């Protein structure tokens, strides 16, 4: 039985790499926005009285 998520023909592999490339380009274009948002979240936690270590842990939890 084949996995429907796994490419099974050369054309499927090529299409999967094209989709992956598009996704990576999108992530790269938005990396600065993502970093800014994460930094603001961290600073908000610190501003609310959490220690820097606690704020970092809270930010990590948000990512999982």
Longest dimension (CA), the chain: 55
- The DSSP code sequence of 22-43 is HHHHHHHHHHHHHHHHHHHHHH
> pLDDT digits over 3-55, tens only?
667 878 888 888 888 888 899 988 888 999 989 999 999 999 999 999 999 99
How is residue 43 written in tokens?
């600073």
pTM of this prediction? 0.57
Which DSSP letter does residue 22 get? Answer: H
Q: CB atoms < 10 A from the CB of 48, how many? A: 9
- Contact present, 9 and 30 (Cβ < 8 Å): no
């Amino acid at each position: 039985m084949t996995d429907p998520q796994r490419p099974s023909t050369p054309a499927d592999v090529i299409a999967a790499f094209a989709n992956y490339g598009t996704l990576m380009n999108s992530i790269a274009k938005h990396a600065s926005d993502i970093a800014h948002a994460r930094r603001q979240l961290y600073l908000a936690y610190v501003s609310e009285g959490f220690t820097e270590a606690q704020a970092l842990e809270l930010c990590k939890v948000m990512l999982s």
